[in-house]
């Protein structure tokens, strides 16, 4: 397998090889091309966890409005130390910089293998390759991490634990914002018995023709919430009101995206958000995401308390095991909300 990093380092590329030419960004939903300057909502996490009753209820209300109207937001004052965030980016760079023999141990692995290193999305099925290499690690409920570089495993453990705590509290706030008990989502999703957390590290090397290749095509994420952080380079765009919005996160913040399982669980009240990653010709971009979902065996369906036959809010999605949804996504093209669309009733 030739990863993008090797390709870029193997010679002086002036054009993108044809298998990386991707027009998918232009194919996806006509009219969604304007790149809008918008102010992205900010959630102050410290008010959610330590604020007084009034601050807490205000931030929960903001969280609800943000999930309903945007589906993405920045989280500040989240309690994960800046050093841990920085070390995670540095450690990720260190992993991709390892000699290939060390990474090959994780190459060509199947979806539920603990650690997978690869390129594109599904290099055996993708019509056009994406300009990204990845490392994916199942970090919870069973912790895994690559052996090298030295110290990376400890960094992953600390970072992912921090991200999990943030996600757990956000889910409690979201639960309340829906008029439910704080622990309703975690109970109904059986999160205590082993919430699933997947770490996805993306590396997008500099690309000689950033307009014709895609880092990641428009897609929505599986899971309830994705927490993202990145190095200093931007490239992430999200759809808001039919337009692409470029994301330039505040330093030391998490950028949070609601996933397909949030949309299923809330019976469409909070929708997952389509996003994509563009590439640049200047330098390597790295993003680190953690996808937070229920245990793999949990069947995710609209929460009974959010279904109301009398009020004409019948279940809008059929239930599916979290694990099966992941399989469905992996064996299809990454394409907008195509997997979720299959579950609509």
Cis peptide, bond prior to residue 149, ω within 30 of zero: yes
**Residue 145 touches which member of Fe ion, ligand AKG, none, C-beta under 5-8 Å by kind:** none
Output the smallest distance, CB 246 to ligand AKG, in A. 11
* Cα gap 194→295, rounded to integer Å: 5
Cβ atoms within 10 Å of 130's Cβ, excluding its own: 27
Binding mask 191-220 for ligand AKG (x = CB under 6 A): ---------x-x-------------x----
Distances (CA, A) of 328 to 130, 301, 325, 334: 19, 16, 5, 10
Q: How many residues bind ligand AKG (CB under 6 A)?
A: 11
Output the smallest distance, CB 220 to ligand AKG, in A. 9
Q: How many residues bind Fe ion (CB under 5 A)?
A: 1
Are 261 and 223 in contact by the 8 Å Cβ rule? The answer is: yes
**Nearer to ligand AKG by C-beta: 146 or 249?**
249
Are 89 and 231 in contact by the 8 Å Cβ rule? The answer is: yes
* Cα gap 223→63, rounded to integer Å: 18
**Nearer to ligand AKG by C-beta: 156 or 277?**
277
Burial class (CB in 10 A: 0-12, 13-18, 19+), 55: middle
Phi first, then psi: what are they for 183, rounded to 5°?
-100, 10
- DSSP conformation class of 98: S
User: What is the chain's length?
Assistant: 345
Among residues 262, 339, 253, 318, which one has the least CA distance to residue 68? 262
**Nearer to Fe ion by C-beta: 98 or 328?**
328
**Nearer to ligand AKG by C-beta: 66 or 287?**
287
**Residue 236 touches which member of ligand AKG, Fe ion, none, C-beta under 5-8 Å by kind:** ligand AKG
User: By CB under 5 A, which span of 41-49, 141-149, 173-181, 216-224 interacts with Fe ion?
Assistant: 216-224
Output the smallest distance, CB 188 to ligand AKG, in A. 25
User: Which residue's Cβ lies closest to Fe ion?
Assistant: 221
Which SS3 state, helix, strand or coil, does residue 191 take? helix
Cis peptide, bond prior to residue 141, ω within 30 of zero: yes
**Of residues 275, 292, 301, 323, which one binds ligand AKG by CB under 6 A?**
275
**Nearer to ligand AKG by C-beta: 89 or 216?**
216
**Nearer to ligand AKG by C-beta: 149 or 289?**
289
Binding mask 216-255 for ligand AKG (x = CB under 6 A): x----x------x-x-----x-------------------
Burial class (CB in 10 A: 0-12, 13-18, 19+), 234: middle
* Cα gap 9→178, rounded to integer Å: 50
Q: Does 260 bind Fe ion (CB under 5 A)?
A: no
Q: Does 221 bind Fe ion (CB under 5 A)?
A: yes
**Nearer to Fe ion by C-beta: 186 or 260?**
260
**Nearer to Fe ion by C-beta: 237 or 266?**
237
**Residue 228 touches which member of Fe ion, ligand AKG, none, C-beta under 5-8 Å by kind:** ligand AKG
Contacting positions for Fe ion (CB under 5 A):
221
Contacting positions for ligand AKG (CB under 6 A):
200, 202, 216, 221, 228, 230, 236, 275, 277, 287, 289
């Amino acid at each position: 397998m030739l990863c993008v990093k090797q390709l870029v380092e193997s010679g002086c590329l002036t054009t993108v090889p044809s298998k990386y030419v991707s027009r998918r960004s232009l194919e996806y939903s006509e009219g969604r091309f304007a790149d809008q300057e918008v102010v992205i909502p900010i959630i102050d996490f410290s008010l959610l966890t330590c604020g007084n009753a009034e601050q807490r209820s205000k931030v929960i209300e903001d969280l609800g409005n943000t999930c309903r109207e945007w589906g993405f937001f920045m989280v500040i004052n989240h309690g994960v130390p800046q050093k841990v965030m920085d070390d995670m980016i540095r450690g990720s760079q260190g992993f991709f910089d390892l000699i290939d023999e060390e990474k090959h141990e994780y190459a060509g692995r199947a979806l539920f293998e603990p650690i997978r290193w690869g390129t594109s999305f599904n290099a055996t099925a993708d019509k056009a390759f994406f300009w990204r290499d990845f490392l994916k690690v199942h970090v919870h409920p069973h912790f895994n991490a690559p052996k090298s570089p030295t110290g990376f495993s400890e960094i992953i453990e600390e970072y992912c634990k921090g991200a999990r705590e943030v996600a757990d509290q956000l889910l409690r706030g979201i639960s309340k914002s829906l008029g439910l008990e704080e622990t309703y989502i975690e109970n109904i999703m059986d999160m205590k018995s082993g919430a699933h957390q997947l770490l996805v590290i993306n590396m997008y090397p500099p690309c000689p023709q950033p307009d014709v290749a895609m880092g990641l095509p428009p897609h929505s994420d599986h899971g309830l919430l994705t927490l993202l952080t990145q190095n200093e380079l931007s490239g992430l765009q999200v759809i808001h009101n039919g337009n692409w919005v470029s994301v330039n996160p505040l330093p030391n913040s998490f950028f949070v995206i609601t996933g397909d399982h949030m949309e299923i669980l809330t019976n469409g009240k909070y929708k997952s958000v389509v996003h994509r990653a563009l590439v640049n010709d200047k330098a390597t971009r790295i993003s680190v995401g953690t996808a937070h979902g229920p245990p793999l065996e949990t069947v995710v369906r609209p929460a009974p308390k959010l279904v109301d036959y009398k009020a004409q809010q019948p279940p809008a999605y059929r239930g599916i095991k979290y694990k099966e949804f992941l399989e469905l996504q992996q064996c299809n093209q990454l394409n907008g909300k195509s997997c979720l669309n299959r579950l609509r009733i």
